[in-house]
């Protein structure tokens, strides 16, 4: 048994180094793979790839900077840090927060010692991606000015109940493209014949045309391709150009179908409990999250509707039942340098809490999420609230945090092949 | 792309077919726990509208033949195509297109009959759901 390694992602190389390095296709195992590789070089992806996944602490966490919870969780593991030192002092809780979120797909893959980026693993077990667990620990650093004195732990269990962004669950969306496969395959065969007719007089060496074509169709191609001259490559390129249009359109249609799955509207439900280690109230939250992209991925809306029960644990305080409504709008903005590839994500959020035993509380937040490299991001948030739980005074707070998405970090640090996996819905 | 190829028997890429001989193709999705669809098209250089074969269905294996008619007791013996080279040509190119949206891997075996000579046995592993692959096989008449 032999493994014929496939070519590296030539489109990426061409993107970085220019089309001249498309000669990497000469490592293709057969002429058909060479043609596919060269066609990929000619393609320009029209699909953007923004997905909002909540690596940050749950919105209920004391010093978290997410006003709204997102429906999607990181694919494997996420973490966030919100140190009190990087937040302005305020009446709102001043605490050091550390949170971790684990996707059950990541746990499942770890348990079975499977590579979670492997397509076969993904097809077999992607349903686990719908479930995520997160835990947050807040260490209060200034309990006198905080409305929730003492340390707290916040736990969240979340499940996507509608709009699975999984190809395994939605593969039938590609079926309308299947009839195109005949024309695409024909064109690859046609290009191969044209190339064979060109190369045969040069490299035929007395073989029959059948033997020569068989050589090109099989593993002998790579040896022959190593001998191609610049003139050969130019002529072959012209022949590929003649019949590449249908293949390019097909690849782009596949990418668009994958993208549509990746940005499907999504609804998730979660249960969150925030438990105070001291005499502060405990909070229990049942929540529905709706997440939708608009205008072909140009902006995103996340809505939360929750019922909160705040369990008072002192005689001086009262239980509260709260209807909480949150709306967050995000717009990915490409700027310069790294942020041209990974856009900055400004978002504007508003929250209204209507509860028993108290007047409504309104919050507004502006957040700028700056993607850093290797899965890290820095959210910068400014939040206003008309009153806190301890009194009728308005409060404003600015904070800087740090989030980490392991799957994104691995992809960022990995090979071009893994970057292709990035385009798979869910990764 | 890129699709990874694992050769159990490296592909011959083509075969000369004499009268009475035929080439047998067997395409098998590598099974997932819930089964998997075969999504493929099989075309000839001048017979692709409609294609010789086009399928998107859940099957354990699919057989077809190019050359002389196979014996009726062979699986799917009715899936038979006689070579039909263009005028003036002695070879006929066939292309198999594979789509991996329902299935992460396919195994393709090609055998020359009646001598039962294996011509290829290769497993194609996709790296992403949007991958597709072409396999070209040339028949000499």
Indicate the residue of B54, B100, B133 with minimum beta-carbon distance to A182.
B54
Contact A214 B138 (CB under 8 A): yes
Q: Which residues of chain A are within 8 Å of residue B108 when distances are taken between CB atoms? A: none
Q: Are A274 and A135 in contact (CB under 8 A)?
A: no
How far, in Å, CA of A189 to CA of A176, rounded? 22
Helix (H) or strand (E) holding A256: helix A245-262
Closest C-alpha among A54, A51, A48, A49 to residue A289: A54
B59-101: pLDDT as tens digits: 888 999 999 999 999 999 999 998 877 777 788 899 999 998 8
At B116 the pLDDT is 94
**DSSP helix/strand/coil, B30:** coil
* Range A3-32 average pLDDT: 51
CA distance A405 to chain B (A): 21
Number of H helices, E strands in chain B: 0, 11
- DSSP per residue over A150-193, as a string? S-EEEEEEEEEEE----HHHHGGGGGGGTTHHHHHHHHHHHHHH
Indicate the residue of B8, B95, B105 with minimum beta-carbon distance to A186.
B95
Peptide bond connecting A59 to the previous residue in cis, omega within 30 degrees of 0: no
Contact A181 B15 (CB under 8 A): no
Residue that is last in its domain, among A257, A287, A313:
A257
A46 touches chain B (CB under 8 A): no
Residue A386 lies in a domain: yes
How far, in Å, CA of A269 to CA of A130, rounded? 10
Residue A4 lies in a domain: no
Q: What backbone torsions phi and psi does residue B125 show, to the nearest 5 degrees? A: -105, 120
Q: What is the DSSP letter of B130?
A: T
Distance of alpha carbon A426 from the chain centroid: 7
Range of the domain at A389: 77-165+265-422
- Report how many domains make up chain A: 2
* Range A140-156 average pLDDT: 72
How far, in Å, CA of A257 to CA of A251, rounded? 10
A307 & A179 share domain: no
* Minimum CA–CA partner of A213 in chain B: B138
Residue A286 lies in a domain: yes
Residue A2 lies in a domain: no
Residue A53 lies in a domain: no
Distance of alpha carbon A114 from the chain centroid: 20
At B35 the pLDDT is 61
Closest C-alpha among A77, A55, A52, A49 to residue A406: A77
A239 & A136 share domain: no
Closest C-alpha among A170, A132, A141, A137 to residue A152: A137
Residue that is last in its domain, among A229, A257, A285:
A257
How far, in Å, CA of B107 to CA of B127, rounded? 15
A338 & A307 share domain: yes
Q: Which residues of chain B are within 8 Å of residue A117 when distances are taken between CB atoms? A: none
Residue that is last in its domain, among A257, A281, A297:
A257
Q: Is the predicted pLDDT of residue A378 greater than 90, yes or no? A: yes
Contact A210 B14 (CB under 8 A): yes
Q: Are B5 and A3 in contact (CB under 8 A)?
A: yes
**What CATH number is given to the structural domain containing A84?**
2.40.160.40
Scanning A80-139, the segments in alpha helix (DSSP H) are 104-111, 119-125
How far, in Å, CA of A187 to CA of A250, rounded? 12
A200-249: pLDDT as tens digits: 999 988 899 999 999 999 988 989 999 999 999 999 999 999 999 999 99
pLDDT band for position A142 (cuts 50, 70, 90): low
Does pTM top 0.90 for this prediction? no
Which residues does residue A140 pair with via DSSP β-bridges, in sequence order?
Answer: A95
Least confident of A12-26, A268-282, A330-344: A12-26
How far, in Å, CA of B99 to CA of A135, rounded? 41
A213 touches chain B (CB under 8 A): yes
């Amino acid at each position: 048994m032999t493994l014929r390694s496939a070519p590296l992602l030539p489109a990426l190389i061409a993107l970085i180094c220019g089309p001249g390095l498309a000669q990497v296709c000469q490592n293709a195992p057969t002429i058909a793979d060479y043609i596919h590789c060269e066609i990929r070089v000619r393609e320009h992806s029209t699909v953007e790839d923004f997905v909002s996944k909540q690596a940050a602490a749950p919105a209920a966490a004391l010093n978290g900077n997410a006003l709204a919870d997102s429906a999607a969780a990181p694919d494997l593991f996420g973490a966030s840090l919100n140190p009190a030192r990087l937040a302005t002092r305020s009446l709102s809780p001043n605490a050091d927060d550390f949170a971790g979120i684990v996707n059950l797909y990541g746990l499942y893959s770890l348990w079975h010692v499977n590579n979670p980026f492997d397509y076969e693993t993904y097809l077999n077990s992607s349903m686990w991606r719908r479930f995520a667990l997160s835990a947050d620990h807040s260490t209060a650093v200034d309990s006198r000015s905080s409305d929730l004195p003492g340390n707290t732990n916040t736990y969240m269990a979340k499940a996507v109940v509608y709009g699975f962004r999984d190809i395994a669950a939605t593969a039938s969306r590609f079926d309308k493209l299947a009839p195109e496969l005949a024309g695409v395959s024909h064109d690859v065969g046609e290009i191969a014949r044209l190339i064979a007719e060109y190369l045969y007089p040069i490299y035929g060496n007395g073989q029959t045309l059948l033997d020569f074509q068989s050589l090109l169709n099989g593993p002998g191609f790579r040896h022959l391709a190593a001998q191609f001259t610049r003139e050969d490559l130019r002529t072959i390129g012209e022949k590929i150009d003649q019949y590449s249009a249908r293949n390019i359109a097909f690849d782009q249609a596949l990418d668009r179908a994958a993208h549509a799955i990746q940005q499907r509207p999504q609804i998730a439900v979660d249960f969150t409990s925030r438990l105070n280690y001291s005499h502060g109230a405990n909070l229990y939250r049942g929540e529905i999250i709706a997440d939708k992209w608009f205008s072909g991925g140009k902006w995103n809306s996340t809505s939360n509707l929750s019922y909160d029960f705040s369990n008072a644990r002192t005689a001086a305080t009262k239980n509260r039942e709260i209807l909480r409504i949150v709306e967050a709008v995000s717009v990915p903005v490409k700027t310069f340098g790294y942020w041209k590839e990974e856009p900055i994500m400004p978002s504007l959020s508003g929250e209204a809490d209507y509860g028993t035993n108290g007047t409504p509380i309104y919050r507004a937040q502006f957040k700028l999420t700056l993607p850093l490299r290797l899965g890290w991001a820095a959210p910068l948030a400014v939040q206003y609230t008309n009153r806190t739980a301890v009194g009728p005074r308005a409060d404003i707070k600015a904070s800087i945090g740090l989030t980490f998405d392991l799957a994104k970090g691995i992809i960022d640090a990995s090979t071009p092949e893994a970057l292709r996996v990035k385009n798979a819905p869910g990764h | 792309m890129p699709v990874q190829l694992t050769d159990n028997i490296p592909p011959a890429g083509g075969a000369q077919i004499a009268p009475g001989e035929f080439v047998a193709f067997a395409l098998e999705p590598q099974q997932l726990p819930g089964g998997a669809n075969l999504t493929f098209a099989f075309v000839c250089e001048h017979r692709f509208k409609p294609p010789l074969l086009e399928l998107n269905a859940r099957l354990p294996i699919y057989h077809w033949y190019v050359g002389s008619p196979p014996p009726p007791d062979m699986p799917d013996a009715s899936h038979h195509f006689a070579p039909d080279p263009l005028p003036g040509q002695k070879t006929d190119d066939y292309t198999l297109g594979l789509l991996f949206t329902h299935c992460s891997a396919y195994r393709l075996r090609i055998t020359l009959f009646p001598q039962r000579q294996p011509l290829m046995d290769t497993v194609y592993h996709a790296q992403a759901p949007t991958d597709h692959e072409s396999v070209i096989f040339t028949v000499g008449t």
